[in-house]
Amino acid sequence: MAEITEPLLPAKEAPETSKPQEPALDFDPKTMRKTKPGVKRLILTVSVLFSFVLGVPFIYKSVEIYRAPLPFREIESLSAQIDSKPFQFPCRLQAIFIGFDWKSSIATLESSILTQMTKLTSQTPQCGTCSPNHTVSVILKSNSQCLQSRTTSCSPECGAIRSIELDGDDEAVDEVLESVLGGCSGSNSGSGGEVYSVVVVNRGEEVRAVVGKYRHAWIVGRVSEAEAVSWAAEIFVKVFVNGGKEEGLIHGEFMPVGADGTVVLSFNLLNADPRDWVYDWDFQSVDETLLAPIIEAMKPVANISVESQVLYHMPKSSLSYWDDKWDSYIFSTKDLPFFVNSNEWHLDTSIAAGGRSKMLHFVIYIPSAKECPLLLQLPDGEISKTNSFISPMWGGVIVWNPQTCRKDSESKRPSRHTISHQDLQKVFEVFMGQFRQLFGFKSDNLYVGASGTSSLLASERGFTVWELDVLSRMHTCFNLHSCATTLGSLSRLVQSLPRMIIMDEIGKQVKYSLEAAKLAQSNASHGIYNASAVSSRQARSLAEDAFFHPSIMSVSYYSFEHCFAVYSPFFLPVSIHVLLAAVREWRRHKQENKKYLAWKTKVVSS
Amino acid sequence: MALPLLLLRPILLLSFLLFAPIINFKAALGSVTEEDFSEELLLRPLPDRKVLAHFHFRSRAPHTSSNGRHHHLFPKAISQLVQKFHVKEMELSFTQGRWNYDRWGGFDPISSNNAKPPGVELWAVFDVPLEHVDDSWKNLTHALSGLFCASVNFLESSTTYSAPEWGYRPAPGSLRYGTLPREAVCTENLTPWLKLLPCRDKAGLSALMDRPSIYKGFYHSQRLRLTSSEFESEEGGSGIVLQQTLTVVVQPDSERNVMSYSHETKLQPSWSLTSIFGRMVTGRCVLAKSSTVYLQLDRGLVGQLDYLQKENELSNADKSVYEGFSSNPGFELSVKPDRVLKELNGFEKKTPSVVYEFYIEKYSESRPFDLGLTWKLPVVWSCQKAPLHASRFLMGSGNERGAIAISLRSTEVSDELLHTDMSEGRCKLEVKVFQVVPWYIKVYFHTVRVYVNEQPQEVSDVVEKMRVSPSVDKVSPGVMEMVLKFPCGMKSAAITLEFDKGFLHIDEYPPDANQGFDIPAAIICFPNFHTSMQFFTDKSVDRSSILSKFQENNAVLAYTEVLLVPLTTPDFSMPYNVITITCTVCALYFGSLLNVLRKRVGEEERSAKSKATKETGRLRQLLSRVSAKLRGRPFELPQPPSNSSSFISSKLILFILVAGIAVFWQVYFG
């Protein structure tokens, strides 16, 4: 209508209310008016405009989508904190020297051990290791006296140490050490982290170093002071802190633990061709006797569940060739990437496992008669002793050859066998080694350091106590890292999509995740390894839950374009009308007012 | 001959029927100390020149308490499914094509158990407290959807599944039933199904499953049936039994016949395993406890062959079909059967069905098994049909309302079989109907009408028992369970139900909304008729899972057609159009109202006057001149301004009218 009516409304016309026209002398109706201009229409248009303006917040509120407030600043500070300062734990070392007749005081011993240790610690601080300012306490016991440094908060009495008999086999010695020194270790020691002790005994000729199953190591033999100090420092730094790992092995960031802290170990017995022979196993007993203690020991790091299956008609996909030298079929390390036949080996994800748990596949491959005995050749031409390999983050494969590769004479029925318990035990020892390797530990029991070779005692639980300490430290670090990155990505995503719906639940999960991360940090700084591992796991799984919340992927994503398309057909034309009307009325009012004032001045002057 | 004579007496037979499962069960308990697997294939020539191939695989695992949770043969995925969701019984079927009850039979165990509605059908009984059944069902659908690469997860929504009380099978409360009629079935569903078999399709009978040949058939149904007693007491539990069946109906290539017997059009096509599947059996799956192929001849076919024999060879009439195959006049088998089994027919005075048994153990790669059947004489026979032929169709037209009709026609078989209720004096034919209707088909259950022999009947006379759970919009489907009792002499019956078509929200339409919406197949069950087939077997019945399946006393069951209901489909850009046009109209109204409010009538009059005197509006003048010319009136000065406001308002009215017409047009014709 505007187009039609506007030209008919010349603004500079006569006053709106018809008044009796008084003949004035110089009255020019174009520039003057006698009456005050009315404000009725102005008020009307302005009030309409005003109500429109008032309505804008309401409209905005009504089209607004719900977004739970997320603590962006805290997320940022968490990731900044974790990125800037590697996450480290306090650790304590206790060095006990027995049978030395040294002149040097305890304080100098302590400082020399510390300097040795700092020399050995890598310059770039690594996540999940011990913080560089170690606490070292020294007990020096010679024939005549027993000196004890004051820094120890909790250490055995000299009298107790007197009774340490480092005779007998290593296992017994380890138990004795644990009974004497172990009272201090463990989470009951309060703040300050675990106490690792190295006992150096100056006796006899042959030098031996052993790292026990608990948190103790001992060196027996004729060693000089400097040697003893450097060796103790090395065992502490390389073994107790770093877990005896070699560089270049699997990095701590690839912890094969699912986002919800669970690992599913799936054991598969693969018969390449059941027409030749069928092998079965008694997995039930293995599960009960061999795997249960490991699962129990790994509790603080991961919830482990075990499942098994026997599969048939599962040929490998790489080829092998006959080698007369070994009198067997050979596959080399080059073939390993093609060994796992992903088309036919349906090792499958598990229904029993939750959505984000990690599957580790362990496969026993029994070759068919066509390729029996099947051996793995290492790059140096030797044959692999275990005949097995691992694939990081996936699992491990063992090729197990039957005793006789001769197929039973043309009988129709295939021979059915059960893998004997001894064989199965051997196989599971290899699996254990593979499992340790997947977690980044060495699979053999020797540590070769600069100061000498130390033998590591293996635990029947798969992992020794100090190894579990290393694992839980690394795991905490890894979890916090991934929690921080996940939350960081979530916050970036949320900030980049301003019209994405965010449920309250996500906000809650983020909040709890942050809380758990804080708790893990504080626990770690107090040296409570297990508790910090548990809460870091919680933090990570909550962060993942928030990130993968189904509502984030919701269909009802309500874009701004959509909103604009719905509302603009009404509000665009109407607001133009209202605005124009208000502007016109305002202009007119000003003009008329000017005219009135002009007339008034005229009247007054005349 | 004492045994058959005794068995002819119904009471004894009945007691045998009752005890047979218990004996089986005992035998099962005895043998199920370790996992076992058996594979079987049943072939049956069909009257309409087709062949039915029915693969049956059975895996059993003993109870967890005795055997532990680690399995050696049994698929891990299934046992985990049972353990996690506490599934007591479950059946999942993927079907393509429709079972032809008239031609392929409606009164045998295969048609009652393995003929399934097209698409996916899933039902499950859970062993959980009643309030958790729905949750278990939802989780199960998701797990199955992942396991079988199918959209079974669409059954999660409460609008797609129902909880029948007694209409489907008696498991009140803990049974859930859902179908997806539109699900397309192909090899991606078969591969995961085969993965559950220990030999997959690498060896044994499953090696016959050549994908092109089984998918080009007329009917294809892949089924997984699970029974578990994991959650019962240790004593009563027989562990988990998994039955996987694949039923295909294929047409053998009959080129050879046409070549040689072109004059004989009636001759059935001869076939062999190679001509049907293009493959042979090169040995059994070594892990199977038993591996057997059966060739079953229908009762009708055997009767026909007997008749032929009598006609042709009057000299040695005593030889009948089941005594020797070489002397058979009708057909010839390429492989000598290891055993011939004859059905024990107690009730009917019909010829018994005959099963030839072939053990695959004997065959190997060097000596493959290729069963062939060559017809020598033209034979025409018909399969045994269900007592009533059921079909369902839609009535009415338009997009507003309609009616569903289920029509039941008596078949010739029913007359002979209808003596079951004779003993009570009045002969009645009992029929159970179970039907699920999606919520957008709003069925009015009070409009149930029943016609018997095309005469309307009082509903209460015919309907014995009825349970209706009306649909709730967007929450649950409508379920109707009914038991009807018809007089025996009835020729036809019909049940009609009227419905209104609902409106869906725009988000609820599927991508191909114009195709129409499916009403899942109704299930018609005849509880008084049983599909039990007793075969005279000397020793372990337990050995063969197909034959023990045949012995089960199941009621005759038939599925009706899936109905396709066209619903009003909106133009999916309509919301935006409506928004745009209403907003424009509102904006116009608002703008003009504002202009009217701030109009100064007196001022306009004056300005118009001054304009007229000054003749400033040259363009206007020109325009009015033109319009005057057009109107054929002499040109006059623009109308007096007093008219102008009415002129404007009339323009406004005209405009609103046009807009109104546009809206109307948009709504009704757009």
Write the pLDDT tens digit of every residue in A550-606.
777 654 556 777 777 778 888 888 888 888 888 988 998 898 888 888 888 888 887
Whether A76 maps to a domain, the answer reads no
Instruction: Measure the CA–CA gap between B136 and B153, rounded to whole angstroms.
Output: 13
Residue A373 has pLDDT above 50, yes or no: yes
Which of B75, B286, B591 lies at the smallest CB-CB distance from A275?
A: B286
Using a pLDDT cut of 70, give the percent of chain B over it. 82
Residue A118 has pLDDT above 60, yes or no: yes
Amino acid at A558: Y
A221 and A342 both lie in a single domain: no
Q: Is there a contact between A9 and B361 if contact means CB atoms under 8 Å apart?
A: no
pLDDT at A188: 44
Mean pLDDT of B355-368: 87
Residue B470 has pLDDT above 60, yes or no: yes
Mean pLDDT of B454-477: 89
Residue A95's beta-bridge partner residues? Answer: A138, A198
The runs of H, that is alpha helices, within A363-464 are 421-438
A534 and A580 both lie in a single domain: no
For chain B, the average pLDDT equals 81
Instruction: Measure the CA–CA gap between A542 and A480, rounded to whole angstroms.
Output: 11
Lowest mean pLDDT among A27-41, A134-148, A224-238, B223-237: A134-148
Consecutive H or E run containing B120:
strand B119-126
Residue B639 has pLDDT above 70, yes or no: no
Whether A372 maps to a domain, the answer reads yes
Residue A358's beta-bridge partner residues? Answer: A263
Whether A574 maps to a domain, the answer reads yes
Longest dimension (CA), chain B: 131
Kindly identify which residue of chain A lies nearest to residue B608, measuring between CA atoms. A8
Q: Are B250 and B218 in contact (CB under 8 A)?
A: yes
Residue B670 has pLDDT above 70, yes or no: no
Q: Which domain holds residue A480?
A: 476-553
Residue B161 has pLDDT above 90, yes or no: yes
Enumerate long-range contacts of A156-162, CB under 8 Å, 24 or more apart: A156/A180, A156/A181, A156/A183, A156/A184, A161/A96, A161/A98
A521 and A547 both lie in a single domain: yes
Output the DSSP codes for B447-502: EEEEEETTEEE-HHHHEEEEEEE--BTTTB-EEEEEEEEEETT--EEEEEEEEEE-
From first CA to last CA, the distance across chain B in angstroms is: 81
Instruction: Measure the CA–CA gap between A96 and A105, rounded to whole angstroms.
Output: 14
Instruction: Measure the CA–CA gap between A309 and B79, rounded to whole angstroms.
Output: 11
Instruction: Measure the CA–CA gap between A414 and B288, rounded to whole angstroms.
Output: 11
Residue A15 has pLDDT above 70, yes or no: no
Mean pLDDT of A20-35: 66
Mean pLDDT of A390-404: 87
Query: Tens of pLDDT along A272-290?
Result: 888 888 888 888 888 888 8
Residue A9 has pLDDT above 70, yes or no: no
A358 and A423 both lie in a single domain: yes
Which of B72, B591, B597 lies at the smallest CB-CB distance from A2?
A: B591
Q: Categorize the per-residue pLDDT at B21 as very low, low, confident or very high, splitting at 50, 70 and 90.
A: very low
Most confident of A61-65, A545-549, B92-96, B625-629: B92-96
DSSP B10: H
Q: Is there a contact between B199 and A313 if contact means CB atoms under 8 Å apart?
A: yes
Mean pLDDT of A7-25: 46
pLDDT at B42: 93
Q: How far is A218 from chain B (nearest CA, A)?
A: 43
pLDDT at A269: 92
Instruction: Measure the CA–CA gap between A422 and B132, rounded to whole angstroms.
Output: 46
Q: Are B443 and B478 in contact (CB under 8 A)?
A: yes
Cα–Cα separations (whole angstroms), residue B670 to A477, A606, B369, B578, B585: 63, 71, 66, 10, 17
Whether A454 maps to a domain, the answer reads no
Q: How far is B205 from chain A (nearest CA, A)?
A: 15
What is the CA A367 to chain-centroid distance, rounded? 38
A416 and A272 both lie in a single domain: yes
Residue A211's beta-bridge partner residues? Answer: A217, A456
Q: Categorize the per-residue pLDDT at B17 as very low, low, confident or very high, splitting at 50, 70 and 90.
A: very low
Q: Which residue has the higher pLDDT, A397 or B16?
A: A397
**Based on the number of CB atoms within 10 Å of its own CB, is A497 exposed (0-12), middle (13-18) or buried (19 or more)?**
middle
Supply the ipTM of this predicted assembly: 0.77
pLDDT at A84: 78
- Residue B71's closest CA among A424, A305, A282, A309? A309
Q: Which residue has the higher pLDDT, A14 or B405?
A: B405
Residue A453 has pLDDT above 90, yes or no: no
Encoding tokens for residue B634? 């002499």
Q: Is there a contact between A274 and B592 if contact means CB atoms under 8 Å apart?
A: no
Q: How many domains does chain A have?
A: 4
A-B contacts (CB, under 8 Å): 133
A434 and A341 both lie in a single domain: yes
What is the CA A268 to chain-centroid distance, rounded? 28
> Which chain A residues are within 8 Å of B604, Cβ to Cβ?
8-9
Phi, psi values for residue A462, rounded to 5°: 90, -50
Query: Tens of pLDDT along B502-522?
Result: 888 877 888 888 888 999 999
Encoding tokens for residue A341? 């036949």
> Which chain A residues are within 8 Å of B70, Cβ to Cβ?
283-284, 287, 307-309
Whether A85 maps to a domain, the answer reads no
Residue A17 has pLDDT above 50, yes or no: no
Lowest mean pLDDT among A67-76, A445-454, A558-567, B651-660: A445-454
Whether A448 maps to a domain, the answer reads no
A307 and A219 both lie in a single domain: no
- Residue B93's closest CA among B174, B158, B189, B172? B189
Query: Tens of pLDDT along A290-344?
Result: 888 888 888 877 888 898 999 999 888 888 888 888 888 998 888 888 888 888 8
Query: In chain B, positions 559-618, which contact chain A (CB-CB < 8 Å)?
Result: 576, 579-580, 582-584, 586-588, 590-592, 594-600, 602-604, 606-608, 610
Residue B55 has pLDDT above 50, yes or no: yes
Which structural domains are found in chain B, ordered by start?
32-385 (no CATH), 390-527 (2.60.40.1170), 574-669 (no CATH)
Q: Is there a contact between A9 and B652 if contact means CB atoms under 8 Å apart?
A: no
- Residue B550's closest CA among B291, B296, B272, B187? B296
Mean pLDDT of B376-402: 87
Q: Are B112 and B80 in contact (CB under 8 A)?
A: no
Query: In chain B, positions 608-637, which contact chain A (CB-CB < 8 Å)?
Result: 608, 610
Consecutive H or E run containing A52:
helix A40-63
pLDDT at B540: 53
Lowest mean pLDDT among A9-18, A454-463, A594-603, B533-542: A9-18
Alpha-carbon Rg for chain A in angstroms: 40
A592 and A536 both lie in a single domain: no
pLDDT at A260: 77
Whether A456 maps to a domain, the answer reads no
* Strands (DSSP E) found in A207-338: 208-211, 216-221, 262-271, 277-280, 303-312, 321-323, 328-332
pLDDT at B318: 47
Q: Which residue has the higher pLDDT, A188 or B555?
A: B555
Q: Are A130 and A90 in contact (CB under 8 A)?
A: yes
Q: How far is A573 from chain B (nearest CA, A)?
A: 6
Q: Categorize the per-residue pLDDT at B617 as very low, low, confident or very high, splitting at 50, 70 and 90.
A: low
Output the DSSP codes for B135-192: HHHHHHHHHHHHHHTSGGGGGGSTTTEE--SSSSSS-TTTEEEEEETT----HHHHHH
What is the CA B148 to chain-centroid distance, rounded? 18
Write the secondary structure of B291-339 as one string of H (helix), E (strand) and C (coil): EEEEEEECHHHHHHHHHHHHHHCCCCCCCCCCCCCCCCCCEEECCCCCE
Q: Is there a contact between A13 and B595 if contact means CB atoms under 8 Å apart?
A: no
Residue B641 has pLDDT above 50, yes or no: no
Query: Tens of pLDDT along A70-102?
Result: 888 888 888 888 877 777 777 777 777 777 766
> Which chain B residues are within 8 Å of A284, Cβ to Cβ?
68, 70
pLDDT at B393: 93
pLDDT at B7: 38
Q: Are B70 and A283 in contact (CB under 8 A)?
A: yes
Q: Which residues contact B227 (CB under 8 A, 6 or more apart)?
A: B88, B89, B240, B241, B243
* The Cα angle at residue A211 between residues A207 and A212, in degrees rounded to 5: 125
Mean pLDDT of B620-626: 72
Query: Tens of pLDDT along B231-255?
Result: 766 555 678 899 999 999 998 876 5
Lowest mean pLDDT among A183-197, A444-458, A576-590, B643-657: A183-197
A306 and A343 both lie in a single domain: yes
Instruction: Measure the CA–CA gap between B102 and B105, rounded to whole angstroms.
Output: 6
Instruction: Measure the CA–CA gap between A120 and A451, rounded to whole angstroms.
Output: 12
Whether A238 maps to a domain, the answer reads yes
pLDDT at B194: 92
Q: Which residues of B1-34 are buried (b: 16+ CB within 10 A; e: fewer)?
A: eeeeeebeeeeebeebbeebeeebeeebbebbee
pLDDT at B14: 38
Instruction: Measure the CA–CA gap between B196 and B213, rounded to whole angstroms.
Output: 21
A121 and A230 both lie in a single domain: yes
Output the DSSP codes for A75-106: HHHHHHHHHHS---B--EEEEEEES----S-H
Q: Categorize the per-residue pLDDT at B620 as very low, low, confident or very high, splitting at 50, 70 and 90.
A: low
Encoding tokens for residue B423? 């003993």
Using a pLDDT cut of 90, give the percent of chain B over it. 29
Q: Is there a contact between A4 and B80 if contact means CB atoms under 8 Å apart?
A: no
Which of B576, B590, B598 lies at the smallest CB-CB distance from A574?
A: B590
A548 and A567 both lie in a single domain: no
From first CA to last CA, the distance across chain A in angstroms is: 44
Q: Is there a contact between B607 and A13 if contact means CB atoms under 8 Å apart?
A: yes
Query: Half-sphere exposure (CA, 13 Å, Cβ side) for A141?
Result: 18
Q: Are B25 and B14 in contact (CB under 8 A)?
A: no
Q: Which residue has the higher pLDDT, A509 or A130?
A: A509
Residue A202 has pLDDT above 80, yes or no: no
Query: In chain B, positions 240-269, which contact chain A (CB-CB < 8 Å)?
Result: none
A138 and A217 both lie in a single domain: yes
Instruction: Measure the CA–CA gap between A48 and A579, rounded to whole angstroms.
Output: 9
Amino acid at B361: E
Cα–Cα separations (whole angstroms), residue A329 to A269, A324, A374, B178: 20, 9, 5, 54
Query: Tens of pLDDT along B572-615?
Result: 787 788 888 888 888 888 888 888 888 888 877 888 887 776 65
Residue of A3, A8, A41, A413 to mutate when probing chain B, most B C-beta within 10 A: A8
Residue B34 has pLDDT above 70, yes or no: yes
Q: Which residues contact B273 (CB under 8 A, 6 or more apart)?
A: B208, B279, B280, B281, B369, B370, B371, B372
Q: How far is B566 from chain A (nearest CA, A)?
A: 26
If one counts every other C-beta atom within 10 angstroms of the C-beta of residue B548, the result is 20
pLDDT at B551: 81
Residue B53 has pLDDT above 90, yes or no: yes
